[in-house]
Chain A
Amino acid sequence: MQASRSLDGVDRFRVVESSEGRSSPDFYRPDRFYDEMFAADGSVRSHYAALHARVASLTPAELAERQRTLEQSFLLQGITFTVYGAENTTERIIPTDLLPRIIPSQEWSRIEAGLIQRVRALNAFLADIYGEQKILADGVVPRELVLGAPSYRREMRGLYVPHNTYVNVCGSDLIRDDKGEFAVLEDNLRVPSGVSYMLANRDAAKRTFPGTYRAAGVRPVERYPDLLLATLKSLAAEWRPNPQVVVMTPGVYNSAYYEHAYLARLMGTPLVEGRDLVVHENLVYMRTTEGLRRVDVIYRRVDDDFIDPLTFRRDSGLGVAGLFNAYRAGNVVIANAPGTGVADDKAVYAYVPEIIRYYLSEDAILPNIETFLCREPAQLSYVLANLDKLVVKAVGASGGYGMLVGPHATQAERDDFADRLKADPCNYIAQPTIQLSTAPCLVDGAIEARHVDLRPFVLAGQKIVVTPGALTRVALKRGSLVVNSSQGGGSKDTWVLAEGDHA
């Protein structure tokens, strides 16, 4: 079995002998984009100095070896997603990059404060629009924009939600604007994923750069699973002394299944599928070997549409019939609450700074990306006049559908899109082409700049906690701005440095 021995854990930590006359990897020069490691004059930013020095001391072959070891360990752990083909089905690992992205403590404090503020405001917004609707009455956010959104769930009107936290798990996407300041690109308030990659990447980075890691004073992320469990338990604490929490997954064929199982395992809670649950007289049970067991909190990783065929999509086989009625009766908590999607709608997004001001009387700490609402006539005419500079997105769609990237489109495509805009302006928003920052990545033995974003994870129950770390998503193709894993994106570890003299 010699040929496949590398699959075994045994030689996973093999140290590569350094060769005589060693060469250092080539670094790149920063481009016109903000770079995480190099300042504009080409000097290394101080918080990256140690990593830069360490990487420069390794030969390209050693770096490649470490990258290979890392990928092998992901494969062995089963951190993979499945690619279904006509002929055969293969599993691929999520591409992952060796070199951590580093965020100094002052910068993180601002991100942390900004995210806490944002989640507080968005939860207040959700409680309001599913309650008294003051913000709509006051005309701060247009009524039809909220009530007309497909993600607005009328079923949620007037329901009790513990601590008024509709969003318990949030994974907002941040990017750096052209000045290098962090801004929010998108709020993910439905079933955000990626946290397991944050933890797996950290595990790998610790093994790849142990010395640099120790010296840098990196803040730990490993508490995420128990903080998540505490958050979930806090949602039922008022009526059940030791609530039974479960993670609900669509099943093994879901692309994020690894993460669902990972979180369940690390929290020590059952991982259930819809078919494991039964609702009887508005109580939710799971089928165990010992009979039926009551369930109190469901951390669901199934979309709203699919959780209950009696209330939402009738053709869903992933959910549980009667679950929503049990929820309405207050016998079970569903996290995140159904209907949170309306607050991360692309059009509502434009109003988030207003929403923060309305509920908290504060200015937004993290700015939005400038967004033009085509529903407003003045903004529509600006958009139509500048189609070649803007990215236009359909409000309801996601994943790159119904989207025009102005600078890359032909005149004919732009004309065609302009007609669609005029026909249905409410359905579109426009943003300037975004400028993602770049970070050093290992590509074929050389260090090259690739565009990255940042997805930190926020937990909100009785209190709001931001895990000091994040998933940094990487666009692995040179020049590409697309970081989605479905479209050739990868990820890397993110080091948030502790305060002190480390940075």
Chain B
Amino acid sequence: MMLARVADSLYWIGRYVERAEHLCRISDVMLTATLDDSEAAATVAHIAMAAMEDREDLAPGQLPMDAVRSLLFDREDLSSVVNSLARARENARQVRDQITTEIWERLNMLYLRITHPNAEYEFSQASTAYLHGVIADLHLFKGSTDSTMSHGQGWRFLLLGVHLERAQRIARLLDVCFGDPSAPEALTEHLAQMAVLRMACALEPYLRVYTAEINPLFVLQFLLFDEDFPRSIRFSTSRIEDYLDRLAPHASVQNRAGPERLAGRLKARLEFADLDETLAPGAILSGVVAECSRIHDAIYETFIDYPLEQRLHA
């Protein structure tokens, strides 16, 4: 049993935390790649900026460093990392009674660090180290969530947020790279292929499966379909389905297009899709993004924002 508002907040903590991590990682890869002045570097910068929704390509003469700085610290920019963390923390504050002290302190500390007056200076001194620090802290947050919080309803809502955000973000990244087969820059450079794997934190796991033979099709296949890699879309959708399956029997009204049904359908679609289909990956990727939004809406209708008359004296 859990307040609907609390479930809502936990879900958004998951989404914002995942978003912050994803943005930091993409920024980090972009900063490293653009140290070289090459064609591949330009491709990577393009992919990075496009994968972060509603962002323009780097303007001529704009330094990647400045783009990342504003992505991290700009309070005016609603999708900046600092705002994601601030919102995650604000949501955590609203459900402070529902999360453990360990979880709260991790998140609070992250927020205090990124809003510290010295933060921008630290970043400008050692940008990669700074981004790695934030990502490592986010991992600590997730670790304490995993190891101190009961793996019950609240935890499932939090992880639902994480995996929905993750599936959508990775789908977006892949869509930028593979969605339009006619686009010429599509991942011919070895360096760019490596960079995309890094953006999904997938390089090492990929190498273990496919060895150092990197080709675009394998990259796509790995990030879409790998069963065990925690950032593949298939992995996330299967988590989403699992959490919703466990949550759904608690909701007293079974509506027909319940979120668990949508999630099951998405999971099945990814399970039975095969390589031929992935030759036209644009459709499947935009399908994933659209299905995730539908699941999000269904979660709201079922658990959070349901009409009262439905639940009175059922």
Contact = CB atoms under 8 A, between A and B. Distances in A.
A9 interface: yes
Contact of B133 (A1, A75, A264, A276): A1
A76 B311 contact: no
Interface string A301-315: 000000000000000
Nearest to B1: A288
Interface in B240-256: 247, 250-253
Interface string A255-281: 001100110110000111101101010
Contacts of A290: 1-2, 250-252
* Most A Cβ at <10 Å: residue of B108, B116, B122, B247: B108
Interface stretch (B26-34, B39-47, B97-105, B195-203): B97-105
A59 B101 CA distance: 33
Contacts, number: 98
Interface of A is mostly: mixed
B122 A1 contact: yes
Contacts of A262: 96-97
A8 B112 CA distance: 10
Interface string B137-164: 0000000000000000100010000000
B304 interface: yes
Contacts of A76: 105, 108-109, 112
Given A1-B130, A1-B133, A293 B96 contact: no
Does more than half of chain B's interface fall in helix, strand or loop, or is it mixed?
Answer: helix
B96 A261 contact: yes
B182 interface: no
A292 B312 contact: yes
A247 B3 CA distance: 12
B93 A3 contact: no
A288 B3 contact: yes
Contacts of B116: 4
B109 A289 contact: no
A288 B112 contact: no
Contact of B5 (A3, A7, A9, A273): A273
B104 A78 contact: yes
Contacts of B118: 3-4
A291 interface: yes
Contacts of B90: 252
B206 interface: no
A333 B133 CA distance: 49
A366 interface: no
B108 A272 contact: no
Given A7-B109, A9-B105, A265 B97 contact: yes
Interface size class of A (residues with CB under 8 A): 20 to 34
Nearest to B75: A88
B2 A288 contact: yes
B286 to A, nearest CB: 30
A393 to B, nearest CB: 36
Given A1-B122, A275-B5, A291-B251, A75 B113 contact: no
B153 A289 contact: yes
A75 B113 CA distance: 12
A261 B101 CA distance: 12
Given A78-B108, A276-B5, A261 B153 contact: no
A289 B6 CA distance: 9
A275 B305 CA distance: 12
Nearest to A75: B112
Given A288-B3, A288-B4, A264 B97 contact: yes
Nearest to B126: A1
B94 interface: yes
A261 B303 CA distance: 23
Contacts of A278: 308
A321 interface: no
Most chain A Cβ neighbours within 10 Å, of B133, B312, B314: B312
Contacts of B306: 291
A287 interface: yes
B266 interface: no
A286 interface: yes
B295 to A, nearest CB: 16
Contacts of B7: 289
A23 interface: no
A344 to B, nearest CB: 28
Q: Which of B5, B153, B312 has the most CB of A within 10 A?
A: B5
A77 interface: yes
B112 A7 contact: yes
Interface string A1-16: 1011001110000000
Nearest to B102: A9
Given A1-B113, A7-B112, A78-B108, A289 B304 contact: yes
Contact of A77 (B95, B98, B101): B101
- The CB with the most chain B CB atoms within 10 A, among A261, A275, A288, A289, is that of A289
Contacts of B122: 1, 3-4
A75 B112 CA distance: 9
Nearest to B140: A8
A280 B312 contact: yes
B20 to A, nearest CB: 16
B3 A276 contact: yes
A35 to B, nearest CB: 37
Contacts of A273: 5
A262 to B, nearest CB: 8
A77 B247 CA distance: 31
Contacts of A257: 93
7 contacts: A1-B133, A77-B104, A265-B98, A276-B4, A288-B3, A289-B303, A292-B312
Given A289-B153, A291-B311, 9 more contacts: A1-B130, A4-B113, A4-B122, A7-B112, A78-B93, A271-B96, A275-B5, A289-B303, A292-B312
Interface of A: 1, 3-4, 7-9, 75-78, 247, 252, 257-258, 261-262, 264-265, 270-273, 275-276, 278, 280, 286-293
Q: Which 4 A-B pairs have the closest CB atoms?
A: A265-B97, A261-B96, A264-B97, A1-B133
